Amino acid sequence: MAEAERIIGTPGSQEPAPEQTEESAPRGKRRIAVLLAVAATAYALDLFSKMLVVAKLEHHAPVEIAGDLLRLVAIRNPGAAFGIGQALTIVFTLIAATVIVVIARIARKLYSAPWAIALGLLLGGALGNLTDRVFRSPGFLQGAVVDFIAPAHFAVFNLADSAIVCGGALIVILSFRGLDPDGTVHKD
């Protein structure tokens, strides 16, 4: 009975229950499971695709998917997009690790499913590329990322990069719509 009174307030009381006050309004269930499921899926797809590319495509001729518009070609990229910063591999490794830590901190207050999806995509992508940086040659924290999707007149990328871009785009959309990770909506 005390639990029921705590949740709905005491009978005849004009005050809302503690959870019902504006400062501590219940936001529903935290969405950490959604974040982890999306991250695990993005990470697994990236890891599996890179293993397949290294086993079947590396040291072979590119595979044409749509003529010159889209090819699959295995390359090792020590830098960022478009091969920028190839001498800064350790910096990109630290950035990926920082992104993972920031997402873990945000997850504690995550009550929005769209934000959970966006952050899950970022987390899965960051983990995918971080795995390459840690475990691939030339060595620990300096590994080159396996890229293989090669559209015409664009940078070669991988599924982790796609997850990061999609997650980032979703975060921009959510921010413009005024939705915060904690589920609150701003109407400005």
pLDDT digits (tens, 9 = 90+) for 29-71: 889 999 999 999 999 999 999 999 999 999 999 999 998 899 9
Tokens of 168: 């980032």
User: Above 80 in pLDDT, residue 3?
Assistant: no
Each residue's pLDDT tens digit, 160-171 = 999 999 999 999
**What's the farthest any 2 CA atoms get from each other in the chain?**
78
Q: Contact at 8 Å (CB) between 118 and 170?
A: yes
At residue 132's C-alpha, the angle toward residues 127 and 133, to 5°, is 95
Residue with tokens 């591999």: 89
pLDDT at 150: 95
- 74, 75, 77, 80 alpha-carbon torsion, rounded to 10°: -70
**% of the chain with per-residue pLDDT over 70:** 81
Q: Contact at 8 Å (CB) between 115 and 168?
A: no
Residue 110 binned pLDDT confidence (cut-offs 50, 70, 90): very high
Q: How far apart are CA 27 and CA 24, in angstroms?
A: 9
Element (H, E) at 44: helix 32-56
pLDDT at 188: 67
Query: Is-catalytic flag, 161?
Result: yes
Which pTM was predicted? 0.80
Residue 95 binned pLDDT confidence (cut-offs 50, 70, 90): confident
Considering the candidates 46, 68, 132, 147, report the single residue annotated as catalytic.
147
User: Above 70 in pLDDT, residue 13?
Assistant: no
φ, ψ of residue 64 to 5 degrees: the values are -85, 125
Considering the candidates 46, 132, 161, 182, report the single residue annotated as catalytic.
161
8-state DSSP, 90: H
Residue with tokens 């397949």: 52
